[in-house]
Structure 1
C-alpha cells in the first residue's frame, strides 16, 4: 500500500473510532441523567412531602411534630405502621385536617441524643399544633442514671412546649414501654429491667404532670406482649404494627379533643 493510500485509510479508521467513542460517551451521559431523576417526584407536585406524603394531608392542616427514639420511628415495621403515622391517618379519617407529621427520632437515642438533634435542626417550623414526646428506654438500656434522665427529660419537655407555642394543651407524652417481655429482653435480667422501667416512668410522669402536660401510660399495653407474640416485631425487641395500633387507639380520642378544643 502506497503512502498516498495509507494516510486516508488511517484517517478514516481514526474518525470511525472517534464516532464510536462519542456514541458510547453520549449513552453513558444519558444513563447517568436517567439514574439521577428516576423515581424522584418533583418538589412542586401537590401532595409531595419529604416524609412520604400521607394521602389526604394538606399544608393548611394541623402540624404535628413527634420527638423520640426507635419507638417513634417504628423500628422493625414499615413507616406506615409507626404510631405517629397511624395517629395522623386516624385523625384524617375523623375529618381532622392534618399536614404530614414531622419526626425527630432515631433508633438508640437517649435524652442526650434527642436534645443534640433538636439543637442541630434548622429546618423546623417555629411552632406546631401538636407535639409528642416518647423517650427514655435507651437511658435505661445503656445504664444511664435516673438523675441525668430527669434533668434532660425536663429540658426536652421544655423544648416540646416551646415548639407548641407554650400551649400545654397541645403537648403529650407517652410512657416508656417495657421490653422485658420481648425475646431480647428475656435474655437479660427481666426483673431489673421491669423495676428500672417503672422507676424511669414514675419520674417521667411526675415531671410531666408538674409541667402541666398530658401523660399517657402505654406501658401496660406493651406488657401484653408477654402473652401475645403478635405484638412483637420480627427483630424480637420492638413492637409490631399491631402493638402500635393499640397505642394509637388508646390515646386517639383524647388527642382529637386536644386539637379540637
Structure 2
C-alpha cells in the first residue's frame, strides 16, 4: 500500500479534522513510499522504534506521537535520537491522539466499552462515554472485572453505592472529566490517571473512581486499528506492547 494512500484513508476514517488536538494527527515522520508491515503501539518511544527496526517494519502507528504543543521545538536529546532512528531506517511514523480516543467503533473508549460489556447510553457527543451493565454488580466485583480485562490492579477510590450499574469512562489522562460523570449520576467513573482532588470528589459526590492506567486504557484502540488495516488491506500489523505502569 502506498504511504500516501494509507495517510488519506486514516485521515478520513478517523475524521481527524473534527478534532482540535495538542499534536498533529497523521503522518509525523515520512519514510518509504510502499508500506506492507506496520508496528502498532501506544507511544513512539525508543523501545518501540527499536522493536520496529528489529521487525523490519515499514511504518509505526501510535496513539502518542511527537510535536506536542507544550514541548520544546528543537530536535535535540532523546527526540533527536528517536527521529534519527526513524529516518535512518526510512520508516514512517503515523500518530493519532484524540481521533483514536473518540472513534465510534475502534477508538479507545469504544473498545473499552466492549471490553467491559457496557451498553452505551451516552446522552451527548463527546469523548466521555456513559454505559450500563446488563445487571448490577457489587463494586468489588466490577473492580475485579476491570482489573482482569486490563491485566493490572486498578486503583479504586470509593464513594458510590455498593451495587453499581451505570459507568462513565474516558481513556488516558481524563480524570478531570469526573465532573461530567457526576452530572450524569453515574455510579462509577473510570479513567487512566488520578489527581489528588479526585479522592475528595469521589467521596463528596457519591461516585466510585477507578484509575485504570493511562497506558492500559489506551492499548485497545491502536491495536484494533492495526487489526482493521490488516483485515481490509492485507497489511501485516504487529502490536508491540512496551509495558508502562502509569
TM-score normalized by structure 2? 0.28
- In our comparison, the structure showing a higher alpha carbon Rg is 1
TM-score normalized by structure 1? 0.27
More helix, by proportion: 1
More strand, by proportion: 2
